Amino acid sequence: MCGISAIYSSSPVANQLYDSIIALQHRGQDAAGIITYDDRMHKYKGLGLASEIFSSEQLSLLTGNIGISHNRYPTHGEFGHGEIQPVWTSVPYGIAMSHNGQLTNYDELVIEITKEKRYLNTTSDSEVLLHMFAKELDKNGQPNNSEEFFNHLCDAVSSIFHKVQGAYSVTSLIIGKGLVVFRDPRGIRPLVRGEKVNDNGTTDYIFASENTMFYALGYEPKGNVLPGELIYIDNDGKLFSKRLVKEEFNPCIFEYVYFARPDAILNDVSVYRSRLRMGQNLAYAWKKKYPDVTPDIVIPAPSTANTAALSFAHEIGVRYSEGLYKNPFIGRTFIMPGQDKRKKSIRHKITPQETEIRDKKVLIVDDSIVRGNTSREIVKMVKDFGAKEVYFVSACPPVQHPCYYGVDMPTYEELIVNSKNGSDERILPDILGVDILMYQEIEDLVEAVTRIGDHHIDTPCMACLDGHYVVNGRKVHDPI
Ligand code: SF4
């Protein structure tokens, strides 16, 4: 999971791109970068949080009215300065690219690229995607105008859709040509669009992983880049778009469970509302399964689960309490690199409030249980602070399979349900140390995401839950 954004404007874009990185910081905290262009490219990138990387002096050097940015959260490739996006090449044009997602046929694409004497500097799949795009664009020669260039782009991106498997939402800038965005045919990773009409009648465009910065920057939401769609804005601000392929629309369900900010609207579905519905469905299931068990208090594992816990508490008629205080200045544990760092950060991040917990039957709502580290630690903390009984409910069904589409949960062994005895429902509560453990059912989660809204989702990707890999219908354990 990463965060990307791209802006075409009638005024300099560097500060807006910086604001976009800040608004998407929750999607990746390892590194960030911005590339703008006027007569040439201007780049700056670094490791860490955006606020640690960019200064106003550096931003003032990123001149130009077109640019792209990236928040990095590594899913493929090593972790170093070379992997920080945007990536760029100078053949056949100066092309820069930001990519959110993960390619599943990386090895075969590397062979195709290196056969054509293009050389890779990193192990990043985003660099491979950049070279595939450049290679395909190189086939048609120099265009005479924007219409002709758009046709070249259509050919190049159609070929990418044909050859490149996996998840990819892409923003790209091309020197002398303009801004290009496209989204893989299944629309696995999000990509939304917005517009702003200026006083002089010109239109500014923004594309981003989430619409979380639109209001602050003055953009009106204009829906999504559709799965399989290519959009090109030329140097003069003329917009071209075409949906090149139409397949099943399978956006990632985990965006709604965990990744996206609650104020985001992705694929025409409000993340906040979907989380309210997750809590509601979970409460219906609780009342059915445990009609005689009523907790004294409902506490979210902060803060992604706050929304689901709120509606859960409302639905079962029990007080909602913020009995676990979260320090907002420490990063999200799920996306922190390295297990040690994750374990250490949970206690530094969350503090129980004894007055809310002591001698009470506490029901904790969490968004999901992946590795189980956070859940185990939270349960221990709540017990340390005197809870009489602890019930644990997860707004997401058991995460049982790795994700190959851009989320860092790469091995079966790392998932708690696959740990020794972890798949045994009678034993997993013991591993977590709780009196009752209840998961959301898959159909209830899908219902929560798709219940309302003028959306066009066919079936969300939930490969990490049900083992059905939506790209090429891969099944559990198929090598990819
Ligand atoms: Fe999202 Fe899970 Fe699908 Fe990965 S496998 S894209 S995390 S739903």
419/424 Cα distance (integer angstroms): 10
93/115 Cα distance (integer angstroms): 20
For helices 373-384 and 339-349, the axis angle rounded to 10 degrees is: 30
Q: Cβ distance 192 to 210 under 8 Å?
A: yes
Annotated active-site residue 403? The verdict is no
Cα separation values, 204 from 11, 22, 179, 198, 265, Å? 9, 20, 12, 7, 20
Ligand 1 in reach of 395 Cβ (< 6 A): no
For the entire predicted model, the pTM comes to: 0.93
- Go through the chain and tell me how many residues it has: 480
Ligand 1 in reach of 462 Cβ (< 6 A): yes
Ligand 1 in reach of 396 Cβ (< 6 A): no
101 phi/psi in degrees, rounded to 5? 140, -160
40/67 Cα distance (integer angstroms): 11
Q: Cβ distance 15 to 44 under 8 Å?
A: no
347/329 Cα distance (integer angstroms): 13
Q: How many A from CA of 215 to the centre of ligand 1?
A: 28
Residue to substitute in 403, 417, 474 for testing ligand 1 pocket (most ligand atoms within 8 angstroms of CB): 403
Q: How many A from CA of 87 to the centre of ligand 1?
A: 24
Q: How many A from CA of 461 to the centre of ligand 1?
A: 6
pLDDT at 108: 95
Residue ranges, the chain, pLDDT below 70: 74-80, 331-345, 409-410, 419-427, 453, 472-480
DSSP 371: S
Ligand 1 in reach of 257 Cβ (< 6 A): no
- DSSP structure string for 30-98: SEEEEEEESSSEEEEEEES-HHHH--HHHHHH--SSEEEEEEE--SSS--SGGGPSSEEE-SSS-EEEE
378/390 Cα distance (integer angstroms): 10
Q: Cβ distance 71 to 98 under 8 Å?
A: no
Q: How far apart are the first and last CA of the chain?
A: 19
Ligand 1 in reach of 445 Cβ (< 6 A): no
306 phi/psi in degrees, rounded to 5? -55, -45
Residues in CB range of 378: below 8 A, 6 or more apart: 301, 324, 346, 350, 364, 366
DSSP 229: E
Three-state secondary structure call for residue 242: strand
Q: Checking phi first, is residue 460 left (phi over 0); if not, alpha (psi -120 to 50) or beta? A: beta
Work out which ligand 1 atom sits closest to the CA atom of 470.
3
Q: How many A from CA of 403 to the centre of ligand 1?
A: 5
Q: Which residues pair with 69 in a beta bridge?
A: 5, 34
Tally DSSP H helices, then E strands, for the chain: 16, 21
Ligand 1 in reach of 464 Cβ (< 6 A): yes
Ligand 1 in reach of 18 Cβ (< 6 A): no
Q: How many A from CA of 467 to the centre of ligand 1?
A: 10
Cα separation values, 62 from 44, 87, 117, 228, 257, Å? 8, 16, 31, 31, 36
CB atoms within 10 A of CB 211: 25
Three-state secondary structure call for residue 362: strand
408/414 Cα distance (integer angstroms): 11
* 186-214 pLDDT tens trace: 999 999 999 999 999 999 999 999 999 99
CB atoms within 10 A of CB 311: 24
pLDDT at 91: 83
CA dihedral 153, 155, 157, 160 (to 10 degrees): -150
pLDDT at 39: 87
Residue to substitute in 461, 466, 476 for testing ligand 1 pocket (most ligand atoms within 8 angstroms of CB): 461
